[in-house]
Amino acid sequence: MKTFILAPDSFKESMTAEQACSAMQRGIQKAIPNAQFIHVPMADGGEGTVDALITARQGRKIQIQVSGPFIHQKIDSYFGFIDTDKTAVIEMAMANGIHLIEKSQRNPLLTSTFGTGEMIKAALDHGALKIIIGLGGSVTNDAGAGMAQALGVKFLDRNGQMVEQGGGHLDQICTIDLSKLDPRLAQTEIIIASDVNNPLCGENGASHVFAPQKGAHPEMVEILDRNLNYFADLVKRQLNIDVKNIAGAGAAGGLGFGLMVFATAKIRSGVEIMIEETQLAEKIAQADYVFTGEGGIDFQTKFGKTPFGVAQVAKRLNKPVIACAGYIGQGIEELYTEGFTAIFGIVDGACDLQTALKNGEKNLERTCENVARLLK
């Protein structure tokens, strides 16, 4: 009897990681009815991280209302608890994500990470001893200043007044007051889950690389980058903390920087955290085959994407890895020496994007059935 590990990421805008697991199982079972399956829905710190960890670790959801990307917005959201409620899992995008604002209204001069700070505070209120925070999918560029404000930090201008939120106001800050910073942060292990290695500032920083998709035009990008530089220099002078050039400081519009400064967070590869927390290696050791995948696979997959992380674990354990993707891009031949046995595109012919997304589960199921017929 063959055992299959099903460890895909979500197929963005088409299916969640758990839905992908189910589609894979349905397809394989048509060819191998007596197969056994272990579902390990995956993520890399972005969309689906909370749900994947709750599923893999039999955790629970905590419903919460928090501030959205604009401070006047209120968002019904949730975070997760695993490890018998010792570890909280948060996705910043569930409070301050790009999907929460219409494209025409996005403005990183004004958007804030305040809601993310509210989620962290709620996790502390529920007794979390460790917090894992996924940073994918943000619509902010405030260096985590909003998050810090929600946790008690005061940013004051030259007149001693509170500075408004948003990346466009960071250059008005003259004083950073930590006297009301939540003391529980000092006793809490905070881990940033991210696959972004960008520094805070410069041409490879948060503003230049990511702000345009968040609504910033070229002039706005320059303002935002200047403000991040100013804020980082202020932090260095007043707090004696210099982390702006650390890889990942620019994640989520600089939220990586803010978490390192104000919550003494440590940054790690999102997929590595998932592999560890889901005990993927122990599960793959029991398996005959490993199936993974996500919306697209190309040469960038080896830079910290979920299928690559899964394949690396399987390679160490000498297990074959089948990857499925909505589209296959350039450079996948590089992946065959990195643990991938075979890579399959699932789209069933020429079609528009919306049709491909709509039929994702059906296409994934059919592809996995056809692959499994070769494995019988």
Which of 236, 271, 306 marks a domain boundary?
271
Domain containing 21 — which CATH number?
A: 3.40.50.10350
pLDDT at 303: 82
CA 3 to CA 186: how far, in whole Å?
44
Parent domain of 354: 3-42+281-375
pLDDT at 373: 96
pLDDT tens, position by position, 261-294: 999 999 999 999 999 999 999 999 999 999 999 9
- Using alpha carbons, select from 139, 160, 116 the residue that is nearest to residue 258: 116
pLDDT tens, position by position, 70-99: 989 999 999 999 999 999 999 999 999 999
pLDDT tens, position by position, 29-58: 999 999 999 999 999 888 889 998 998 889
Which of 225, 243, 271 marks a domain boundary?
271
In a domain, 203, yes or no: yes
pLDDT at 55: 87
Tell me the HSE value of 102 on the side-chain side, using a 13 A CA sphere.
2
Report the mean per-residue pLDDT for the chain: 95
Residues 10 and 31 occupy one common structural domain: yes
Split at pLDDT 50, 70, 90, the class of 356 is confident
In a domain, 28, yes or no: yes
Residues 82 and 225 occupy one common structural domain: yes
- Which residues, in sequence order, are CB contacts of 349 under 8 Å at separation 6+? none
Q: Is the pLDDT of residue 349 over 80?
A: no
Residues 358 and 241 occupy one common structural domain: no
Residues 252 and 317 occupy one common structural domain: no
pLDDT above 70 coverage of the chain, percent: 100
In a domain, 263, yes or no: yes
Task: Identify the residue with better confidence: 11 or 304.
Answer: 11
Q: What is the dihedral of CA 9, 115, 195, 58, to 10 degrees?
A: -40
- Using alpha carbons, select from 49, 45, 36, 44 the residue that is nearest to residue 6: 36
Which of 217, 250, 271 marks a domain boundary?
271
In a domain, 276, yes or no: no
pLDDT at 79: 98
pLDDT tens, position by position, 222-266: 999 999 999 999 999 999 999 999 999 999 999 999 999 999 999
Tell me the HSE value of 189 on the side-chain side, using a 13 A CA sphere.
8
Residues 78 and 187 occupy one common structural domain: yes
CA 362 to CA 349: how far, in whole Å?
13
Q: Rounded to 5 degrees, what angle do the CA atoms 61, 62, 66 make?
A: 130
Domain count of the chain? 2
Residues 294 and 265 occupy one common structural domain: no
- Which residues, in sequence order, are CB contacts of 213 under 8 Å at separation 6+? 98
